Structure 1
């Protein structure tokens, strides 16, 4: 199983939207996909129609060892996509985990015991660089960074990349930057174009060719408990996430065969 952490310490960059819709797109392509909601807000769970009363077991129980991934997982409305949901209990997990041995490796060990039930796992991280996000990065093979096309985008990215270097040197030398996905792109806005050009100038091929546009249907879909790809598969946002998923698959070693 290949594990991808979807992370950015800034909120409002389209991280959860990206996690939900990439997971859906990857499942549509034919992969067996696991989405792990590691954000105490639980928006990825809500966005896939998982109600609070359905979350008897969650990523919190997985992290503290009360449940396995297989026990906590829930099916979704998307064939081939399952989720380990999140609850507000996660907000206290960072404090509780301090007392555990190998507290940075809790998710990694849990996924190692999950077997080969899934091809790809995506971890939706909280908007911070705390212990939850560190657990995701230690468990991950690679990192996907959604980056909003706004003036301060690169400023926040440098802090994230510094954290990645620390994770590599101390815990997970194999952690790779899978790519940076430009989100909330507005072709009518000159600043958006300038930011996208600046990011590409600095990061080069690390930036995916596909950009995710500002799109009303992407914003509406979570309130219906559906990924945008199911809510309106013909909208520009859905089409962009399908294109991004195909581009992403090509970057994964040994996974390009299913990308067509």
Structure 2
């Protein structure tokens, strides 16, 4: 199982959108995909139309080892797509992870028993530097970094890369790959990208080169209401007749397929 997380240390950067459309694409291609909603805001769980019952295990119980990992996994309405959901109670796991002494490895350990059941695991990380975020990074073979094409997005990119660099310094905490930076809400007017988007994407390339040694900025996700419409209707972009908007997600999927995973 290849485990890839979507991380960005600010809200509104496109993390959940990328996770959802990436997972739907991989599942539609016949791959078994496990989604993990590691954000207490639970946007991914909501987007999938999943209702968490009061007595149903979620990621909280999985992390605290109150249930076996497989007992926290649910089928979704989409073929080949499964979910470990969350709700706002997930915030209660912060002290548990901090007090365990090995919090960065907790999620990785919980996923080990079910690793042979899925082709891919895609995780939606919380938008804050937190114990949950650290354990998500620690469980990942690779990271993708969605960033809004705005000043707020650039600030988020720097904070995110700072955190990843810290965890890379500890080889045991994270020794995976950075798949790339994904510009989100890239604004165009007609056939031309706006000056603001152009400038911010250029800045992303500079920041990426400074921190990662090369320009890892991937094709951008354009600003479009079609994404929201597809989510609301439970459709893929291709099913919406918007294959051109799906291109950036297709690029990410191909990079994940080529990802080499080190044996546990």
Task: Say whether residues 1:233 and 2:240 are aligned partners.
Answer: yes
What does the per-residue CA deviation read over 1:180-224, in whole Å, with 9 as the maximum and x for residues that have no partner? 11111111222012211222244244111x211111121234445
Equivalent residue for 1:244, pick from 213, 237, 251:
251
Instruction: Give 1:258's aligned residue.
Output: none
Count matched residues: 251
Distance 1:207 1:55, change over 3 A: farther
What does the per-residue CA deviation read over 1:213-260, in whole Å, with 9 as the maximum and x for residues that have no partner? 111121234445x25448x53236752354234443355238xxxxxx
Structure 1 residue 159, shift from structure 2 partner: 1.6
Q: Is the 8 A contact 1:7 1:126 kept in 2?
A: yes
Instruction: Give 2:204's aligned residue.
Output: 199
Instruction: Give 1:19's aligned residue.
Output: 19
Instruction: Give 2:82's aligned residue.
Output: 82
Q: Is the 8 A contact 1:187 1:193 kept in 2?
A: no
In the alignment, the residues of structure 2 paired with residue 51 and residue 131 of structure 1 have an alpha-carbon distance, to the nearest angstrom, of: 25
In the alignment, the residues of structure 2 paired with residue 51 and residue 227 of structure 1 have an alpha-carbon distance, to the nearest angstrom, of: 19
- Structural mapping, 1:121-132, within 5 Å: 121-132=121-132
Structure 1 residue 33, shift from structure 2 partner: 0.9
What does the per-residue CA deviation read over 1:140-167, in whole Å, with 9 as the maximum and x for residues that have no partner? 1111100111123222212211111221
Larger displacement relative to structure 2 (235-244 or 76-85) = 235-244
In the alignment, the residues of structure 2 paired with residue 106 and residue 45 of structure 1 have an alpha-carbon distance, to the nearest angstrom, of: 21
Which runs of no fewer than 5 residues in structure 2 stay unpaired? 209-213
Query: Could you state the TM-score of these two structures normalised by the residue count of structure 1?
Result: 0.88
Structure 1 residue 105, shift from structure 2 partner: 1.4
Q: Is the 8 A contact 1:145 1:179 kept in 2?
A: yes
Superposition RMSD on alpha carbons, in Å?
A: 2.2
Q: Is the 8 A contact 2:34 2:83 kept in 1?
A: yes
2:228 partner SS: helix
- Structural mapping, 1:173-184, within 5 Å: 173-184=174-185
Q: Is the 8 A contact 2:237 2:243 kept in 1?
A: no
In the alignment, the residues of structure 2 paired with residue 66 and residue 91 of structure 1 have an alpha-carbon distance, to the nearest angstrom, of: 16
Structure 1 residue 129, shift from structure 2 partner: 1.1
- Structural mapping, 1:1-260, within 5 Å: 1-53=1-53, 56-170=56-170, 171-188=172-189, 189-203=194-208, 204-208=214-218, 210-224=219-233, 226=234, 228-229=236-237, 232-235=239-242, 239-249=246-256, 251-253=258-260
